[in-house]
Amino acid sequence: MSEPVTELGGKVVEGWVTVRDAGLCGMITLRGDLESKAVKDICKKVTGVAFPKPLSAGADGRSGLCWMSPDEMLVMVPYADVQMALSDIHSALQGTHYAAENVSDARSVMFLEGAGAREVVAKLAPVDLHPDHFKVGDFRRSRLGQVAAAFWMRDEETFEIVCFRSVGDYCFSLLSASAEAGPVSVF
């Protein structure tokens, strides 16, 4: 069988803020009634993470849940566990109105690490990233430069960014350029 690789091939650009390919991530797009107990329960079961409030995300290592829209959840699990998680979801939600699909190889994931990570993103997205407004655990789908991307703060100095695989390289270069340009000291 062919060996799975990320679009970014493990690239890292170190500097004031480090941009890092997150490596292979298992991702499942789950659409359905996010208010239903069955959906909440299976999300918690496959990730071990508490069900997030709207516009937020939570993670434990490589497992996590990201609130994408009022009817969509991004379920993150270790890459090797995707098929197992997907079949767990199918058996738990069988007969209800839902859709779940493995999108692991359709997305790119990267990390931004450093005290200035907030500024690096703020320069690229039309989002209020002031510390009083955008906090650890907050999740936002928006755009970075010219492409759609989602990002959230894992902790005070780490952003996790998810974008389509086809624009992964653009996104990575954009973040690296923003990091290289240095701080703007607005926060």
Partner 1 sequence: MLTLQCPYCGVDADETELSPGGEAHLKRFGPGSTDEEFEDYLFARQNPKGVHFERWRHAYGCGKWFLAARCTMTLEVFGTYSAQTTEPPQTIKDAITAKRPGWTWGTLS
User: Which residues would be at the binding site for partner 1 (CB under 8 A)?
Assistant: 54-55, 68-70, 72, 126-128, 140-143, 148
In the bound state with partner 1, the residue whose beta carbon lies nearer, of 136 and 148, is 148
As measured in angstroms, the least distance from the Cβ of 148 to partner 1 is 5
In the bound state with partner 1, the residue whose beta carbon lies nearer, of 33 and 72, is 72
Sequence length of the chain is 187
As measured in angstroms, the least distance from the Cβ of 56 to partner 1 is 11
As measured in angstroms, the least distance from the Cβ of 31 to partner 1 is 11
Which stretches of the chain are assigned E, i.e. beta strand? 12-13, 18-21, 25-31, 57-60, 63-69, 72-78, 99-102, 107-113, 139-144, 147-155, 158-164
Q: 142: which strand partners?
A: 149
Distance from C-alpha of 103 to C-alpha of 154, rounded to nearest angstrom: 21
SS3 (DSSP) at 82: helix
As measured in angstroms, the least distance from the Cβ of 67 to partner 1 is 9
In the bound state with partner 1, the residue whose beta carbon lies nearer, of 18 and 56, is 56
In the bound state with partner 1, the residue whose beta carbon lies nearer, of 29 and 173, is 29
In the bound state with partner 1, the residue whose beta carbon lies nearer, of 107 and 141, is 141
SS3 (DSSP) at 126: coil
Distance from C-alpha of 187 to C-alpha of 172, rounded to nearest angstrom: 23
In angstroms, what CA-CA distances link 4 with 9, 24, 29, 42, 106?
A: 10, 8, 19, 27, 12
As measured in angstroms, the least distance from the Cβ of 11 to partner 1 is 25
In the bound state with partner 1, the residue whose beta carbon lies nearer, of 25 and 68, is 68
In 3D, which of 131, 126, 127, 128 has the Cα closest to residue 115?
131
As measured in angstroms, the least distance from the Cβ of 40 to partner 1 is 18
